[in-house]
C-alpha cells in the first residue's frame, strides 16, 4: 500500500514551489527592465533620426510613412504628443495643418454631398486648395487618414468610413452609420456607377426588400444619397460622395 506524503514533505514541496515562483518573478522583472532600457534606446535613436531628417519627413511622403511606421513599432505617437521633444520638433504640425484644411474642404462641400466625401476627392481638393504655397509637400491618402482620424476627438461629427478595396469616405456630419449603411455604400462603390437600388441590394447583398428600403431611407434622411425616380424600371439612389471615384475608375 502506497503511503501518503508526510507533513514535512508537503511543507518542503511548498517551499520549493515558492522559490521557483520567486525566481520566475525575478526573471520576468529583469526581462522587463531590459526591454524598457532597449525601448528607451530606440526612442532616443528615433528622436535623433527625426531631428536629423525633420525637413525630409515633412516633404517626402514615402519617408514620412516609414517614419510613422517606426514610431508605431515602439509605441510612439508624435501626433498625440503636445509637450516635450515631439512638440518642439514640430513633426505633428504637418498633420495639424492638414486636419484644419480637411475640415475646410468638408464644410465647403457639405451642401452637395451631405457631409460624405471620398478620400480621393478630398485629396484632389486639398492639393488644389494648398496651391503652389505647399507644392513641395506631397499629400498621400495615408496622410489624410492620419489627419482625419485625429478629428474623431470631436465626436461622431468626423469619422473615417472604410468601404472596402482600400477605399475610404470621410464623414463630416453628426450621425452614426451602421454596418448596413456601410454595406450599401460599399455596394454602390463596387458597382462602378455611384448608385444602387433595392433590386441591386437584394441581388448583391441577399437582403429582403424591407431591410434594403430601411437602409436607403436612413441614408436619404441623412442627406447622403439622392433619389432618382425618373427611370423606367425602378428608383435609383445616387451617392454624390462616390462620383469622383467612379468616374476615375471608368476613365
Number of other CB atoms surrounding residue 144 within 10 Å:
23
Between CA 129 and CA 132 the distance in angstroms is 9
CB-count burial class (<10 Å; 0-12, 13-18, 19+) for 60: middle
State whether residue 212 is helix, strand or coil: helix
Domains of the chain and any CATH numbers: 177-251 (1.10.10.10)
- Reading the chain (251 residues) residue by residue, the pLDDT tens digits are 455 555 656 666 666 666 666 666 666 666 767 766 776 777 777 777 777 777 777 677 677 777 777 776 766 666 555 444 445 455 566 777 788 888 888 888 888 888 899 999 999 988 887 765 554 567 888 888 888 877 776 666 788 889 888 889 998 877 778 899 999 999 998 888 889 999 999 999 999 999 999 999 999 988 889 988 887 688 999 998 888 655 455 54
pTM above 0.75, yes or no: no
**HEC profile for 111-122?**
HHHCCEEEHHHH
- Is residue 165 within 8 A of residue 190, CB to CB? The reply is yes
Amino acid at each position: 500500500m502506497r503511503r501518503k506524503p508526510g507533513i514535512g514533505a508537503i511543507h518542503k514541496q511548498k517551499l520549493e514551489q515558492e522559490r521557483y515562483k520567486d525566481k520566475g518573478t525575478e526573471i520576468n522583472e529583469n526581462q522587463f527592465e531590459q526591454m524598457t532600457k532597449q525601448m528607451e534606446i530606440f526612442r532616443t535613436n528615433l528622436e535623433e533620426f527625426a531631428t536629423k531628417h525633420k525637413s525630409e519627413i515633412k516633404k517626402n511622403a514615402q519617408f514620412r510613412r516609414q517614419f510613422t511606421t517606426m514610431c508605431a513599432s515602439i509605441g510612439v505617437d508624435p501626433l498625440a504628443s503636445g509637450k516635450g521633444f515631439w512638440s518642439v520638433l514640430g513633426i505633428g504640425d504637418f498633420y495639424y495643418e492638414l486636419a484644419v484644411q480637411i475640415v475646410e474642404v468638408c464644410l465647403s462641400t457639405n451642401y452637395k454631398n451631405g457631409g460624405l466625401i471620398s478620400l480621393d476627392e478630398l485629396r484632389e481638393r486639398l492639393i488644389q486648395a494648398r496651391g503652389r504655397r505647399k507644392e513641395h509637400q506631397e499629400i498621400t491618402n495615408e496622410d489624410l487618414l492620419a489627419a482625419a482620424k485625429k478629428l474623431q476627438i470631436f465626436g461622431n461629427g468626423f469619422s473615417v468610413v472604410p468601404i472596402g478595396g482600400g477605399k475610404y469616405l470621410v464623414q463630416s456630419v453628426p450621425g452614426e452609420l451602421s454596418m448596413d449603411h456601410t454595406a450599401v455604400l460599399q455596394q454602390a462603390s463596387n458597382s462602378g456607377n455611384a448608385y444602387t437600388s433595392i433590386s441591386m441590394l437584394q441581388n448583391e447583398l441577399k437582403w429582403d426588400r424591407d431591410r434594403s428600403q430601411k437602409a436607403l431611407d436612413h441614408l436619404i434622411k441623412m442627406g447622403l444619397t439622392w433619389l432618382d425616380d425618373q427611370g423606367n424600371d425602378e428608383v435609383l439612389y445616387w451617392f454624390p460622395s462616390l462620383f469622383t471615384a467612379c468616374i476615375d475608375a471608368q476613365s
